[in-house]
Structures are given as C-alpha cells and as structure tokens.
C-alpha cells in the first residue's frame, strides 16, 4: 500500500468548492478507474474523494461514460467499430462522440491507411484532464476540473518519478531546446529541433489556450500571462482543436512568431512524449510558475522526467555576472557566484542531490520549487557592485560592453533595471563604487562616470535607446487602465516597467512638469533639466501618458478614477514638504525649508537672495540649499549641523564642493531660537549638541542649553527633514499610515490595505535616493501586473532580488591593470562656483577604455548540471557568448510509447537499486 502523499490538495484554499456526490455513479467510477494510472485507484473502487471520480462526474454524463467504457484507453476506434461495440446507430453516436470530443473526454485523428476518422479515449495526462481545461466556459461552469488536472499530474507520479530514466519513459512531456542554442551542435538529432517537428507536420498547426495557465489561474495561482495561443497542436491534433472549438489554425509564420514571443518571455518549449519515436501532437510554451509538466521534475527534484539531452555550461572568462541567465532560468539551475579565486583556491559550488543512487521520498522534494527556483545568488556571494546597487544593475556587464565599444548594448543592459541612466550618472550616491572590490586595492572603478558616458547617447533623439515591449500575451496590448500618482523617479519607473510589459499607464503629476524631486529638488548645476526631459520622452515613446497639473485628491479622486475604469494605482508622491525646527521664531519672514527653496529655484533660477544665509542641516539636501543660496546672490552662507564633521550625512565630495564654493560649515550645534525684528529673521541662536542618540541607539539629540552662539542672518533655510503632504489623496481609502505618516504596505508587494493601491518611493521608505525609488518602481510594476491579471498570485515564483556580496577579505586577486582611476574634466567656460549650468564633462572614449580595464571582473554565473533541464532559455538572454548548451545527456532524447513505459522504467529501477545498495555499503 502506498504511503500518503506529502502534498495533499488543500481544498480549503481553493476559490471554489469541489462537488462530491453522496451517491456514486457506477459508470463514472468504472470509467475513472479504467483511465487512471494511479496504482491505489487502479486496484480498488473509487470514492467520492478520488479526483478520478469527481473530475469526471460533473462533465461526463452516464451516456458518455457508457460509450467510453466500450473503448480502450489510447486504442483508436472508427465510427463503425464503435457502432459494433455499443450496439447504437451511427446517427445517434456521431453527435454524442462530437459532444464527448468537445468537452475533452475524447480526441480523434485519421492515422490509418484509409485516413478514416477514428476516436481515441486518451489517458488523463497528457489527455482528457488537459482537454477539459482548454475551454474557458467549461472552467467557469465547472472549476473543479482545474483541481482535477492538478491532481492527475501529481498523484500517479509521486511514487515513480525517482525511477524514471533519462527521456521520461513515455510519461508526459519533455523539453525541446531553443533551436538557435543547438545550431552549432553537430551531434544533435533531428527530433531535438523544433524545425523538424514543424516540417513533419507542415501546414497543420493550430494554436490553443494553455490549460496550465487557465487552470492554475482558476485555482488562484495564476502567473499573469494571457493564456491564449501558447499551445500549438500539430497534425491531426490541429484539426481536432479547431473542430472542437479549442483552438484555431495558424500559419508557419504565426507559429514562429509564437515561439519567438515565448523565448522573449523566457518560456520553455516542450513537446508531448507519450507516442514513441518521431511522433508528437503538441508543442507547448511553458511558464514554470504554472506548468504542470515542468512541475513534475521540479517539485519531485527528478529532472529525468522532463530534461532535454543538453546541459548549459558557463565559460567563466566571458561571463560578467549580469544575471540575465539567472533571472530567466526556469529550473533555478543558474546562480550568481564569483570568478575570482579565494586565498585557498576556487570556490566549489554545491550540486542538487539526485535520486540516482539514494532513496527518494517527500523529504527530498521541493514543494516550494517555484520560489526556490528564483534564488539569485549562492550564499558565498557575487560581485559587490551588483549586490550593493538597490536596482541590482549589471554593472560588471555594462563595463565590459563599454570596454568593447558596445555602448548602445551597454545602455540597453542598464535600462533593463534603470530607465534613467543619464540622470543617475549625474546624481547617484554610488553605492556600487563604495562596495567595489577594486577599492580594496587602490580606488574603486569610476562606475558612475562610465555610466554617464554610456547614457550620453540617450540624450539625443537619433541615438536614444527605446527598449522593446516584452509582453506575456499574444493578444495585443493589455486593456487594463493603471494610474500612477506622482511623476517622480518611483512613479515614472513604475510606468516605464509597466509599459515594457504592454500596458499604457497614465501618470498624474500635480506640478507643471514631470520629474518630481529630480526636477524640483536637485539643482541644475548637478542635473540639467534637459537630461530629465530626454529620458522622460522615452517613456512617452513607449506609450506612457503624463498628465501634469492634476492634483489627485483635489482635482480628481481615486474613486473618480476607479469609476473611469482604472484598475490599480501606484502612489509615489514623495516627501514634498520640509520639516520645521519647532523652536521660537521659525515662522518669521526670511525662513523657509530647503524643499521650498529648491522647488522655487527649480522653477525660476533668477530667484534672488542677499545678505547672510544660514542653512540648518548636514545632509546632501542642505549642501544643495547652501550652494543654491550662493548662486542666488547670498553674500555669505553658513551650514550648521548637529553632527561632528566626520559624522555628517552629506557625502565627502559634496562637502568639499560646497566649501570650495565658499560655504562655511559649523558642526555640533542646533537651533535654539530665531531672533526677529519687525517680523523678519535677523539672527539664529544655536545651542551645543552634546549627543545624537539615546541609550537605545535612536536619534534623540541632547543639548547644553547654556552653551550658545548667535549668528546674524538675513535668510534661514531649514534642511532638517522632509514630510509627506497627502492632501485629500487618501480620503475615503483604507490605506493605513504609520511612522512619519508613511504608507503602510506589504514589504514584498507594496500593496496597501486598500487592495488596488500600491505605494513606492519616499512615501513608503521615507526620504532616500533616486536609485532606491527606481528599484521600488520596478517592483511596483511587478505587483500591479500580477494584481490586474485575473487570479494571479502576488508572490508565487516572484524574484525576491536578494544578492550577497562575496568576501572581499578572502580573495586572491592576482595580476590586474594598474591604471589609476580616471577623472572627468570640467567645462572651464562655466563658472563652477556661481553658475546654474552643470560644468562636469563626461569621460573621453580613451578614458572609458582605461577605466573599464580597471574592473577586476569579480562575478560569474554558475550552472548546477543536476538542475539544468537543457531548455536553452539562458543562451537567448546572454549577450556575452558566455553560456552554451552541450549534448551531455543523449539518452534524454529517447522517446518511448506510454504503453511501454515499464519496459524502460524497470531496468533503470533495477540498476538504481543496485547503486543504492552499494552506496549504503560504501558508508
């Protein structure tokens, strides 16, 4: 007697109830028992709890069952033969057989010398369980068929998968590689090429909906793909699909377009594998998050069930750890590791255990394989630059492309994670450089300067790069309307990544121009407005609509937008307000926040200040305010901050530039009061800060109220924090606010208590940097896509974007290029101290070549051959010729008839048992 499954169907989690007959229908019992391969169910009467029973019961009438019981599984019968077997007339049988075919209980073909139509009672999988799920109306009326399909891809296999030899032994489907990945493989067989199958069934193709995508969605675990047309029936199956309204005919060119779209999305090609050598009836394009065929090998950790004859291998010398292969590998076989050796030699990476020579059971399975397959990185770490970047941009990759002169390719690679490379090349806080391994040798690679050089071509219309739209649908652009509230870096990034998935989002921005704090919070001498405009134009070319001058909450409400058809909202309005100091006199004329000053000057660079200015604060925004004050005409500017000089939050580079321009910095003081005269500030009284943090380590400054100094002034700029100005935006909404009035949301999905409202950027995290907002925008787009697509899981199979830095203290770096770090020149025609123009030039092409040669090339992808299923998807994503398929497992191309499966399984099972016994003796 078999052991109970470790993966039972939890019916309580289904969005529907599985109907169970109180009185069993005898013919359905017999039919289910006849079709199933599941040993317990095969050898005992079915019960109301058996999927073989309830899966058929609501679809199949007793009349249908009566006819089907006169047939044999997978044994074709012509109409005259069925007439003879049942004693019914052809006139009454023919419409009944057609109805049985339409619901999916039967299939038919013309595979006989006379080309006479013959009906077949298929197995459950691949077969009737899938066919039941190829009809949207049938799923809607009988959703239990989706759970039936899921069960019949699990229960018959749970105790046999470990014993299946390479090739799959005629069970289900197996992977067929991306054809261009094996074009140069001179040992490949014809049957390993999709072109072979298309030629064999030339002119007979039909595209139909994917049963896995539709059924998993009905179970509440959809993947967000449009299910239509991903499955291609060939030969007589094409006619069957069309005639039973499960599909439609497609041309060869249309098939090729479907296959290409699948590869663009990272879907896996699979062919049916139950009819023996050189015969299939379908080619599928599978998403591992929902595919029941791929699940078989992934969940049970038994790749023999589905893998192709090929295994991917990385050529480390070409690999730059860009992570594209990792992101798309359906089996989680590729992870990021390191290329540099440790002091004790190269790292030896672990491999997935296989059932070849060990006992195998539920304890060896990966029930959560869809999440485990999305792990990006080995625990020992990878390139620090990719790890440290909040957007995890492929730094090592674009440096390599720039070194090769492939500037447009480098720009395209950056834009896979960051729509604003030219902006970030000017104002990023460069955490990648802080983490750079080269910094342990001398100076970090000037990553940002190289990125700025690469991004320059994006600033002119004739050279700019507009990424292609890659949409998991074959049915044209998505129709769902999505609203982005706030046109700053988070909102615009969300809109960009939604547009790349085929949406046409609308951005609502209350200011006259988009850009948010990029435009209204960063001075032009650091970030010119035309740079912002150029990169935003690309979003508009992708179909993003931007409506400026619209204050959502005042001019229009979220409820109004819902009534107008908007299905989801991404709220990213930033922290637009400045905090006050909470001391006497701060409402006097001449006192303003840094946010207000920077926004004013962002609109009008002719704004005038005179006399003495005191800036309160020690961060980068305070630095900007000080430098802006000097450019607006202030005679003297003094920055005052609580922190000691070596603890100032502003970057060393920003501090140095401010001091060079004439800003004085006084550390260790905070405001006590503002002295006024006739309602206008004339001085600020400062008190000595004695400590910054309390015993719990929280920011809680203490002061000596008697240790004061007074600074005369004409203007005061407060840069001591920012706040969120919600206005009426959330009126009537269920969104909760937490610390600092920030929105409360799920940390992975950014979904709020109002299910259709998602948040990102500063309204969720508090004030951070542009690159943080950009990274949040991408994740917001992922969530919104999953939310607006019916019955899609918000979390299953989601890339958590977790990376680990390699141990920089345990590296054997060896030989490296000793060129010093390159520095971009300044435009000497610009007054760097008082002009609002950006005087920083880009590196020259010669400097870029020199700088990129300084990269130590820390990271590389690593393939676990025990997990690789040989689909070749990785090879289509690599732009460095670093990963290829090798025909290491030729036995995996052996195709066996389902009826002969035990002829293949038993010898393999015996050999495996011997290996297990020897392995035990060896211990």
The stretch 758-772 carries a mean pLDDT of 97
Task: Say if residue 859's pLDDT is above 60.
Answer: yes
Label residue 5 by pLDDT band (50, 70, 90). very low
Average pLDDT estimate for 395-416: 97
Residues with Cβ within 8 Å of residue 403, at least 6 apart in sequence: 848, 849, 852, 853, 855
Average pLDDT over residues 456-473: 90
Q: Where are the beta strands (DSSP E) in 411-536?
A: 481-485, 506-509
The pLDDT of residue 418 is above 80? yes
Q: What percent of the chain has pLDDT over 90?
A: 95
With a cut of 50, say whether residue 429 has pLDDT above it.
yes
Mean pLDDT within 264-285: 97
Q: What's the mean pLDDT in 161-187?
A: 94
Task: With cut-offs at 50, 70 and 90, classify the pLDDT of residue 4.
Answer: very low
Strand ranges (E), 426-556: 481-485, 506-509, 545-548
Q: Which residue has the higher pLDDT, 2 or 127?
A: 127
What is the spatial distance between Cα 367 and Cα 300, in angstroms, rounded to a whole number?
A: 8
How many C-alpha atoms does 109 have within 13 Å on its Cβ side? 18
What integer best gives the mean pLDDT of the chain? Answer: 96
**CA–CA separation, 31 and 20 (whole Å):** 17
pLDDT at position 825 over 80: yes
What is the torsional sign of CA 142, 143, 144, 149?
A: positive
Eight-state DSSP code of residue 754:
S
198-209 per-residue burial string, b: 16 or more CB within 10 A, e: under 16: beebeeebbbbb
Strand order in the sheet with 77-78: 77-78, 118-120, 107-109
Which residues have CB under 8 Å from 604's CB, separation 6+?
A: none
pLDDT in tens, 87-121: 999 999 999 999 999 999 999 999 999 999 999 99
DSSP assignment string, 67-135: HHTTS-BT--EEHHHHHHHH---HHHHHHHHHHHHHHTS-EEE--STT---EEEB--IIIIIHHHHTS-
pTM of the model: 0.96
Q: Check whether 6 has a pLDDT greater than 60.
A: no
Residue 498 has pLDDT above 50, yes or no: yes
- Please determine, for residue 679, whether its predicted confidence score (pLDDT) is greater than 70: yes
Quote the pLDDT of residue 457.
Answer: 83
Residue partners of 381: CB distance under 8 A and separation at least 6:
337, 338, 387, 803, 804, 805, 806, 807
Q: What is the pLDDT of residues 582-613, one digit of tens each?
A: 999 999 999 999 999 999 999 999 999 999 99
Q: What are the structure tokens assigned to 226, written together? A: 């449009």
- Place 918 in a pLDDT band, splitting at 50, 70 and 90: confident
| Model pLDDT, residue 1 | 32
Q: From residue 572, how far is each of 430, 484, 505, 726, 752 by CA, in Å? A: 23, 7, 14, 11, 13
| Contact between 41 and 33 (Cβ < 8 Å) | yes
- State what percent of residues in the chain have pLDDT above 70: 99
Sign of CA dihedral 314, 445, 849, 412: positive
Q: Pairing relation of β-strands 77-78 and 205-208?
A: unpaired
**Residue 922 — pLDDT band, cuts 50, 70, 90?**
low
Q: What is the mean pLDDT of residues 787-803?
A: 97
Q: What is the C-alpha radius of gyration for the chain, rounded to an integer number of angstroms? A: 33
> Which tokens go with 744?
């409360």
Per-residue confidence at 3, pLDDT binned at 50, 70, 90?
A: very low
Q: What is the pLDDT of residues 202-216, one digit of tens each?
A: 989 999 999 999 999
């Amino acid at each position: 007697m078999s052991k109970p499954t470790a993966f039972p169907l939890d019916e309580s989690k289904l969005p529907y109830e599985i109907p169970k007959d109180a009185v069993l229908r005898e013919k359905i019992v017999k039919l289910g028992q006849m079709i199933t391969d599941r040993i317990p169910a095969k050898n005992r009467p079915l019960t109301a709890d058996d999927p073989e029973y309830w899966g058929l019961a609501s679809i199949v009438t007793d009349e249908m069952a009566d006819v089907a019981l006169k047939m044999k599984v997978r044994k074709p019968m012509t109409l005259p033969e069925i007439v003879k077997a049942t004693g019914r007339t052809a006139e009454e049988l023919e419409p009944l057989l057609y109805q049985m075919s339409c619901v999916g209980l039967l299939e038919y073909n013309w595979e006989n010398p006379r080309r006479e139509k013959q009906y077949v009672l298929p197995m459950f999988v691949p077969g009737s369980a899938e066919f039941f799920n190829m009809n949207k109306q049938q799923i809607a009326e009988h959703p239990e068929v989706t759970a039936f399909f899921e069960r019949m891809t699990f229960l018959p296999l749970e105790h046999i998968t470990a014993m299946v030899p390479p090739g799959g032994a005629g069970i289900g489907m197996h992977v067929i590689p991306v054809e261009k990945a094996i074009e140069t493989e001179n040992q490949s067989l014809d049957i390993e090429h999709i072109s072979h199958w298309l030629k064999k069934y030339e002119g007979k193709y039909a595209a139909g909906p994917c049963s896995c995508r539709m059924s998993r969605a009905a179970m509440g675990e959809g993947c967000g793909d449009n299910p239509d047309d991903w499955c291609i029936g060939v030969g007589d199956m094409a006619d069957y699909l069309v005639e039973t309204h499960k599909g439609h005919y497609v041309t060869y060119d249309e098939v090729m377009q479907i296959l290409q779209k699948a590869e663009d999305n990272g879907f896996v090609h699979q062919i049916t594998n139950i009819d023996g050598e050189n015969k299939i009836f379908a080619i599928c394009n599978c998403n591992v998050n929902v595919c029941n065929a791929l699940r078989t090998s992934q969940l049970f950790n038994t790749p023999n069930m589905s893998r192709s004859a090929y295994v991917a291998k990385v050529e480390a010398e070409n690999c730059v750890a860009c992570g594209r292969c990792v992101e798309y590998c359906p089996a989680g076989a590729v992870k990021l590791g390191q290329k540099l050796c440790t002091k004790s030699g190269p790292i030896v990476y672990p491999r997935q255990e296989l059932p070849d020579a060990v006992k195998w059971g539920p304890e060896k399975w990966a029930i959560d394989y869809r999440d485990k397959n999305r792990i990006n990185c080995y625990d020992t770490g990878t390139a620090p630059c990719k790890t440290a970047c909040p957007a995890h941009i492929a730094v090592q990759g674009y440096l390599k492309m720039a070194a090769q002169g492939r500037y447009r390719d480098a720009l395209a690679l950056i834009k896979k994670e960051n729509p604003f490379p030219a902006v970030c090349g000017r104002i990023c806080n460069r955490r990648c450089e802080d983490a750079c391994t080269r910094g342990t040798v001398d100076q970090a690679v000037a990553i940002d300067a190289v990125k700025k050089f690469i991004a320059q071509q994006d600033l002119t219309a004739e050279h700019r790069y507009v990424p292609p739209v890659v949409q998991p649908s074959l049915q044209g652009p998505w129709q769902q309307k999505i609203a982005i509230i706030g046109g700053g870096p988070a909102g615009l990034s969300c809109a960009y990544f939604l547009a790349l998935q085929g949406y046409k989002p609308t951005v609502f921005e209350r200011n006259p121009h988009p850009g948010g704090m990029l435009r209204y919070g960063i001075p032009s001498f650091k970030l010119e407005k035309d740079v912002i405009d150029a990169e935003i134009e690309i979003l508009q070319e992708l179909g993003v609509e931007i409506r400026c001058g619209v204050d959502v909450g005042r001019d229009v409400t979220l409820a109004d937008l819902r009534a107008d058809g908007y299905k989801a909202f991404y709220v990213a309005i930033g922290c637009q307000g400045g905090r006050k100091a909470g001391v006497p006199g701060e409402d006097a004329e001449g006192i303003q926040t840094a946010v207000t000053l920077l926004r004013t000057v962002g609109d009008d660079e002719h704004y005038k200040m005179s006399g003495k200015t005191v800036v309160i604060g020690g961060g980068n925004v305070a630095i900007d305010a000080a430098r802006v004050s000097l450019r607006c005409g202030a005679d003297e500017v003094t920055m005052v901050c609580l922190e000691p000089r070596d603890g100032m939050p502003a970057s060393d580079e920003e501090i140095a530039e401010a001091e060079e321009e004439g800003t004085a910095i006084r550390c260790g003081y905070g405001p006590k009061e503002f002295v006024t005269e006739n309602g206008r500030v004339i001085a600020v009284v400062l008190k000595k800060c004695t400590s910054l943090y309390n015993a719990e380590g929280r920011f809680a400054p203490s002061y000596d109220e008697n240790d004061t100094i007074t600074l005369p002034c004409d203007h005061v700029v407060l840069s001591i924090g920012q706040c969120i100005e919600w206005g009426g935006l959330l009126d009537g909404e269920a969104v909760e606010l937490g610390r600092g009035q920030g929105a409360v949301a799920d940390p992975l999905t950014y979904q709020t208590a109002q299910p259709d409202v998602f948040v990102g950027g500063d309204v969720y995290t508090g004030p951070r940097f542009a690159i943080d907002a950009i990274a949040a925008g991408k994740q917001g787009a992922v969530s919104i896509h999953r939310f607006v697509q019916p019955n899609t899981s918000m979390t299953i199979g989601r890339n958590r974007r977790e990376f680990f830095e390699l141990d920089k203290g345990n590296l054997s770096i060896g030989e490296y290029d000793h060129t010093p770090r390159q520095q971009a020149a300044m435009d000497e025609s610009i007054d760097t101290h008082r002009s609002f123009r950006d005087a920083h030039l880009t590196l020259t092409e010669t400097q870029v070549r020199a700088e990129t040669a300084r990269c130590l090339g820390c990271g590389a992808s690593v393939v676990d051959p025990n997990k690789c299923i040989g689909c070749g998807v990785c090879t289509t994503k690599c732009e460095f010729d670093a990963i290829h398929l090798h025909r290491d497992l030729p036995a995996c191309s052996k195709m066996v008839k389902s009826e002969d499966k035990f002829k293949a399984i038993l010898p393999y099972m015996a050999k495996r048992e011997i290996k297990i016994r020897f392995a035990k003796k060896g211990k």
